[in-house]
Amino acid sequence: MKTEPFWTDEFARPDDLPVASELPTSVDVAIVGSGYTGLNAARVLAKSGLSVSVFERNTIGWGASSRNGGMATPGLKLDISKIYKNYRAELGKEFWQASVNAIDLLDTIINEEHIDCDWQRKGHCSLAFKQSHFDEMEEYADWLDKEFGHKKSLILKSELQSEIGTDAFYGGLSDETSGGLQPAKYVFGLANAVAKLGVLLYENSPVNTIQKTPRGFQVSTSNGTVQANEVIVATNGYTDLLVPELRPRVFPVGSYIIVTEPLTEDLQNKLSPKSRMFYDSKVFINYFRLTPDGRMLWGGRNNLSTDLDLIDSAKRLQKQMVSVFPELKDVSITHSWTGRLGVTFDLMPHIGRINGIHYVNGYSGHGLSIATYLGAELGLMLLGEKDRSPFEEINTKMMPLYRNKTWFLPLAEKYHRFLDWVS
Ligand SMILES: Cc1cc2nc3c(=O)[nH]c(=O)nc-3n(C[C@H](O)[C@H](O)[C@H](O)COP(=O)(O)OP(=O)(O)OC[C@H]3O[C@@H](n4cnc5c(N)ncnc54)[C@H](O)[C@@H]3O)c2cc1C
């Protein structure tokens, strides 16, 4: 079993990805981080003729953007009905609409840039782990329809075999809006597209300091220094102390994935007849899908740590997978890996500014399409083509005494386990 992401093992960073080496003296915008957020901001800015440099600590797309499940689904991490309760209804509507528009934007970018990333919109099905969760799904579907006219189909337990080959769940809710892709192909394709627009991409170039100057910012990287009019920090779950005030706003949580060897076509059709993206209704969620080449991908976490042993994690995930799909008991696991989610204390993404430095982060594990969207949105705001975003209009929650060390995670873990038990 390999302890590296299946996606980059299947599709490695292309050798001909155009990366730069010499630093310019100055740029309009310097971007820290080369995932979906940073690259989509770069795309929008470069299309308007601005000079943009993207600095990546590792190789292009190294972070969550080449490690995720590849599932683009509407909504945000926090349930939209809770978002409604926490914020004004008008804002709630905007958040929901942004999440739906985000999937359409992803679709548009993939088509416009001709990114071959196995993108298919075959919908998703969320699965009730308990009868009480199914009852809530029924109410939720009615509410979504009334509030936004968004249609989801309620699937009774007796009909669930049309969606998934297991009787482990109490029913489900399917949604045709969603889609799936190969994350590494998307991020490398996007990097290639922005490089063609003139964006300079720097690998193995951690940004070490950002200093305010009379003309903007001096951005110091391991390769040298560049003067930038504006700086965007797009480091999400890999946010370090580069901007010390940013780290307490977004904390890293580990998410873990395994994939099996390719399944026979018969088994693929039995387990996932519609090739849906799936996730269950637990707090410690499992998300799963077939990969484009017909493997079962199974993701989740048993605790919130970022450094679980990948062999142990594979055993735990395999056990969960086999409890849902007993047919996979003797199927080999070929890859086990992890990546970091950037989680906020209100589970909401945020756009903001600290000492003049722009940031966008906090997708909390639901970031494939919304990171794409918010990267682009921040780009449009810098260009003056958008004058506001609902994601900059909500307060950021902070945890007292948290600066860098996530001391509260073991407590949060216990609380989540308790919720899974009682709910
Ligand atoms: C295992 C896993 C499964 C997931 N599954 C899904 C899913 O199925 N659907 C979904 O919607 N979302 C999913 N997500 C979330 C999604 O992948 C992320 O929200 C999204 O990729 C975030 O993109 P980003 O560009 O903001 O951050 P990232 O892609 O994490 O990029 C941040 C980059 O910043 C770089 N960096 C950090 N500090 C510096 C520095 N000082 N200098 C230079 N570079 C720096 C890092 O090296 C990193 O490459 C998953 C995440 C993980 C980890």
CATH number at residue 106: 3.50.50.60
Question: What is the whole-number distance in angstroms between the Cα of residue 38 and the centre of ligand 1?
Answer: 10
- The minimum-distance atom of ligand 1 relative to the CA of 367 is 19
- How confident is the model over 69-126, as pLDDT tens digits? 999 999 999 999 889 889 988 999 999 999 999 999 999 999 999 999 999 999 999 9
| Closest C-alpha to ligand 1, atom 51 | 68
For 320, phi and psi rounded to 5 degrees? Answer: -65, -45
Residue 385 lies in a domain: yes
The answer to whether residues 390 and 93 touch, using CB atoms and an 8 Å cutoff, is: no
pLDDT band at 421 (very low <50, low <70, confident <90, very high): confident
Nearest to 103 by CA among 422, 370, 412: 370
The total of other beta-carbon atoms located within 10 Å of residue 269's CB is: 15
Q: Would you say the CB of residue 99 lies under 6 angstroms from ligand 1?
A: no
Question: What is the whole-number distance in angstroms between the Cα of residue 242 and the centre of ligand 1?
Answer: 17
Residue 195 lies in a domain: yes
Q: Pocket of ligand 1, candidates 341, 358, 359, 372: which has the most ligand atoms within 8 Å of its Cβ, to mutate? A: 341
Supply the pLDDT for residue 183: 98
With 90 as the cut, is the pLDDT of residue 358 above it? yes
Residue 165 lies in a domain: no
Residue 93 lies in a domain: yes
Give the total number of structural domains in the chain: 1
Residue 420 lies in a domain: no
| Closest C-alpha to ligand 1, atom 49 | 63
Q: Which two tokens stand for residue 220?
A: 């110091």
Q: Would you say the CB of residue 365 lies under 6 angstroms from ligand 1?
A: yes
- How confident is the model over 251-262, as pLDDT tens digits? 999 999 999 999
Nearest to 288 by CA among 81, 63, 99, 73: 73
- How confident is the model over 203-246, as pLDDT tens digits? 999 999 999 999 999 999 998 999 999 999 999 999 999 999 99
Supply the pLDDT for residue 243: 97
Residue 80 lies in a domain: yes
Residue 150 lies in a domain: no
Lowest mean pLDDT among 37-46, 293-302, 360-369, 412-421: 412-421
Q: Would you say the CB of residue 248 lies under 6 angstroms from ligand 1?
A: no
Residue 161 lies in a domain: no
Q: Pocket of ligand 1, candidates 4, 7, 13, 57: which has the most ligand atoms within 8 Å of its Cβ, to mutate? A: 57
For 258, phi and psi rounded to 5 degrees? Answer: -125, 155
With 90 as the cut, is the pLDDT of residue 30 above it? yes
Domain around 191:
6-123+176-415
- The minimum-distance atom of ligand 1 relative to the CA of 240 is 38
Question: What is the whole-number distance in angstroms between the Cα of residue 57 and the centre of ligand 1?
Answer: 13
pTM score, whole prediction = 0.96
Supply the pLDDT for residue 416: 78
With 80 as the cut, is the pLDDT of residue 423 above it? no
**How many whole angstroms separate alpha carbon 316 and alpha carbon 301?**
9
Region 289-309: what's the mean pLDDT?
92
Q: Would you say the CB of residue 333 lies under 6 angstroms from ligand 1?
A: no
